[in-house]
Homo-oligomer: A and B are copies of this chain.
């Protein structure tokens, strides 16, 4: 019996999380359920992907991750969602999510194994626009939860629906590597106000060729990379790699985002002397 984790934007003030847990209890009373978080910013796929990517490997191989964010699927600007739901296998873990771009971001493309869920609702929706979905459909309850429980109970991925390579594609922000510079962006601001970038230790190592780095952002520059956030006195700016190997800009015991005026998507450069 595998573990089932939950990652949602349901928040902590409504009945939504309890309704999901009651459903899981009904569908698979002996499946162990663990919360990742229910505090994803509403509809924020980037936030969900960052959290999931940072932690899913910490769970045992074979864990099933149920992601409930924008659970009708992607709604491109100006268009309505075309409901579709998937189960995927990636790096030995299972994922169940609506077709909202999250799996493409997580796997940097189409995952190794991907099936389109033909759950009860899926059947009802076969060939239909979302206008013909059963009006009482609740995708997380009726499509994602049953699929996740089956995976956690050891059912094969292939039993959940037909294989597919059709996936709503979103693309991760790419790093720009130059001779003397790595250019990236803030991909997450955590609740301390620490700024996590998409600049990996590997990219810095490739470009540095042993040269010392300076980190540039806003009007600031920082001349040294530290082993951790507490390696400078409180109140000072610090640049460090987090345990996932991402460059972070922070203020020790302070809110870096507020104090430095940096936010999601702000640019950060690592430069080397020519």
Contact = CB atoms under 8 A, between A and B. Distances in A.
Interface of A: 3, 5, 10-19, 21-23, 25-26, 34-43, 50-52, 54-55, 58-60, 70, 72-73, 75, 77-81, 83, 130-131, 133-138, 141, 190-193, 227-235, 241, 243, 252-253, 255
Given A227-B135, A233-B78, A243-B136, A19 B130 contact: no
Query: Could you say which of A36, A54, A190, A231 has the most chain B C-beta atoms within 10 Å of its C-beta?
Result: A231
24 contacts: A3-B25, A12-B39, A12-B191, A13-B41, A14-B54, A14-B190, A15-B51, A16-B190, A18-B58, A22-B59, A25-B34, A25-B60, A26-B58, A26-B60, A75-B230, A75-B252, A78-B234, A79-B233, A80-B230, A130-B230, A133-B227, A135-B227, A135-B228, A137-B228
B58 A23 contact: yes
A54 B34 CA distance: 23
A245 to B, nearest CB: 9
Contacts of A59: 22, 25
Query: Could you say which of A3, A25, A79, A141 has the most chain B C-beta atoms within 10 Å of its C-beta?
Result: A25
A201 to B, nearest CB: 9
A78 B233 CA distance: 5
Contacts of A137: 227-228
Contacts of A193: 42
Contacts of A10: 191
A48 to B, nearest CB: 11
Contacts of A42: 191-193, 253, 255
A233 B75 contact: yes
B13 A191 contact: yes
B37 A253 contact: no
Contacts of A75: 230, 233-234, 252-253
A36 B13 CA distance: 9
Q: List 9 A-B pairs, minimum CB-CB distance, nearest first.
A: A11-B191, A72-B230, A22-B58, A15-B55, A13-B39, A12-B39, A18-B36, A135-B227, A15-B54
